[in-house]
Amino acid sequence: AKNQGCGSYAIHDQNMDAEAEQRSEMGQALRQALLNDEFVLYYQPKVHMVTGAVTGVEALLRWQPEGKPLVMPDRFIPVLEETGLIVQAGAWVLQEACRQLMVWRSHGMPPIGVAVNVSARQLQSPGFVELVERVLKETRLEPRWLELELTETIFVDNASDNVRVLRRLADLGVSLAIDDFGTGHSSLSYLSNFSPRTLKIDRSFLSEAEDGSDNVVIARAIIALGHGMGLNVVAEGVETEAQADFLRGYGCDQMQGFLLSRPQPAERMEQWLRARIQ
Ligand code: C2E
Ligand code: CA
Ligand code: CA
Ligand code: CA
C-alpha cells in the first residue's frame, strides 16, 4: 500500500504542475482582461423578508472573454487573488457598482443599496480606504448605500490591522457585512470588538433545511445571535418557499436567492426592479 501511495504521489505532482501552469496562463489572460475591459457585473436583488420591499442588490463579478463563454467567479477569483490582480479588479468592481446605482437613480428609481464583495487581500492593500472614499465622492453616492461584504477570514490573519481598516471604513459611513457567516473557522470574539451592520447566513445552512435538521438549528441560532447583537440578518441562497417560510418564522430580516432572481446583467436587473417596484 505504501508503494502505491508513492505512485499516486507522482501522479498527483504531475497534476499539480499542469494545474499551476493552467493558473499562470489564466493569470496572464486575466491581466489582459483587465486592460480589455472584459469584466462585467451581474446583480442579484435582496428583499425585506416580511414586506418584500427591495433593499438592495449584490454586485457579482463575471468574466466575458471575447467570443468565449462567460466565466464564473469561483474559477477566476482565486487566480485574481494569487496574482494580486484582485486589487485592480476589485477597484473596478467598486467603481462600476456605485456608478450603476447612480445610473438607476438617474432613471428615476427609488434609492436602494449596493453590496460589493471585498477580499482580504484587497482590504489589506495600501490605500483601500482612500479608494472607497474617492469612489463615493466621484459617484456622489451617499456612503450608507454602499455595503462591503467581507468574509470571516479577515479575522484570522492580521486581524488587528484589519479591524483598524474596518473602523475607518465604518467612520466613512459605509455599511459592513460578514459574508458566509458560520463557515469561517474564526472565533466569534471579533464580533465584540468590531460590529458589522449585517450578518449573511451562508447558503450551506439552507440546503436540506427541513424542520428539526441540524442546519435549521444553526440558521436559527445565527439569527438569534445577530439579533442579540442588534444586527441585520440576511439569508443568502434562498431557493424555495419552504426555506423562506422557516426563515421568516425565525425572524430573519432579509433574503436573497434564486427564489427571487438569479444574478442578472444591469439592464435586465433594472427591468426586474421596475416590475417589482410598481
Ligand atoms: P458570495 O459572495 O457568497 O455570493 C453568492 C453566490 O451565491 C453567487 O455566486 C450567487 O450567484 C450564488 N447564489 C445566489 N443565490 C443563490 C441560490 O439561491 N442558490 C444557489 N445555489 N446559489 C445562489 P457567484 O456569482 O458565482 O459568486 C461566487 C463567489 O465569488 C461569491 O460568493 C464571492 O465570494 C465571489 N465573488 C463574486 N464577485 C466578487 C467580487 O467582485 N469580488 C470578490 N472579492 N469576490 C467576488
Ligand atoms: Ca457576497
Ligand atoms: Ca455569501
Ligand atoms: Ca459564498
Q: How many CB atoms lie within 10 A of CB 162?
A: 20
Residue 180 φ then ψ, to 5°: 50, 40
Nearest CA to ligand 1 atom 37: 60
Q: Give me the tens of pLDDT residue by residue for the chain, a chain 278 residues long.
A: 344 444 455 566 667 778 888 888 999 999 999 999 999 999 999 999 999 999 999 999 999 999 999 999 999 999 999 999 999 999 999 999 999 999 999 999 999 999 999 999 999 999 999 999 999 999 999 999 999 999 988 888 888 899 999 999 999 999 999 999 988 777 777 777 777 999 999 998 887 656 667 888 889 999 999 999 999 999 999 999 999 999 999 999 999 999 999 999 999 999 999 999 86
Q: Please check whether residue 236 is in contact with residue 71, taking contact to mean a CB–CB distance below 8 angstroms.
A: no
| Closest ligand to Cα 59 | 1
Which H or E run contains 75?
Answer: helix 73-83
Task: Note the Cα 92 to chain centre separation in Å.
Answer: 15
Predicted model pTM: 0.92
Nearest CA to ligand 1 atom 8: 60
Q: Which residues sit with their C-beta closer than 6 Å to ligand 1? A: 44, 60-61, 72-74, 77, 90, 93, 117, 119, 179-180, 203, 236-239, 257-258, 263
Cell representation of residue 182: 458560520
Residue bearing the CA closest to ligand 1, atom 13: 237
Cβ neighbors of 33 (< 8 A, separation 6 or more) are 39, 63, 65
The b-or-e profile of 45-84 (16+ CB within 10 A means b, else e) is bbbebeeeebbbbbbbbbbeeeeeeebeeeebbebbbebe
Cell numbers 416590475 correspond to 275
Residue 201 C-alpha to ligand 3 middle, in angstroms? Answer: 7
Q: What is the 3-state secondary structure (H, E, C) of 88-147?
A: HHHHHHHHHHHHHHHHHHHCCCCCCEEEEECCHHHHCCCCHHHHHHHHHHHHCCCHHHEE
Tell me the C-alpha to C-alpha distance, in Å, between residue 153 and each of 24, 119, 133: 24, 9, 24
Residue with cell 459611513: 173
Q: What's the CA-to-centroid distance between 252 and ligand 2, angstroms?
A: 17
Cα of 202 from ligand 4 centre, angstroms: 7
> Which listed ligand is nearest to 237 at the C-alpha?
1
Asked if 242 and 216 count as a contact pair (C-beta separation under 8 A), the reply is: no
Is 117 in contact with 149 (CB distance < 8 Å)?
yes
Interface ipTM > 0.85: yes
Q: Which one of the ligands is nearest to 181 CA?
A: 3
Cell numbers representing residue 179 in the block: 459574508
